[in-house]
Amino acid sequence: MESRIIDISLNETHQNQNIMKNLRKLSRENLKSVKGGISQECAAAQAAATKCYSTLAQCQADPNSVDPDFGFSYCRQHCNKACY
């Protein structure tokens, strides 16, 4: 269980590093036109989830997000949302 959490955390860190690398490739002029939003990968992950919340705490408070046999949470951070 602990190694899975570390693996997920490392994966999120790697994703954040890739985003920053991509932002560095943009010119100053192109940065002026960058608008908010999420990537296609984030949108796909959120669409595949059962339910998403604004915060991880909200997700973990949902009784359906917890495995009844083992008691661990299915909640995972998908970019700007916590989903299960």
pTM (2 decimals)?
A: 0.52
Please report, as a single letter, which amino acid is at residue 30. N
Show me where the domains of the chain are located.
2-25+44-83
Q: pLDDT per residue over 36-70, tens digit each?
A: 778 888 888 889 999 999 999 999 999 999 998 99
Please, is 75 exposed, middle or buried when counting C-beta atoms within 10 Å of its C-beta (0-12, 13-18, 19+)? buried
- What stretch of H or E contains 77? strand 76-78
How distant, in Å, are the alpha carbons of 13, 27, 33, 37 from that of 8?
9, 31, 32, 22
Q: pLDDT per residue over 18-31, tens digit each?
A: 666 666 666 777 76
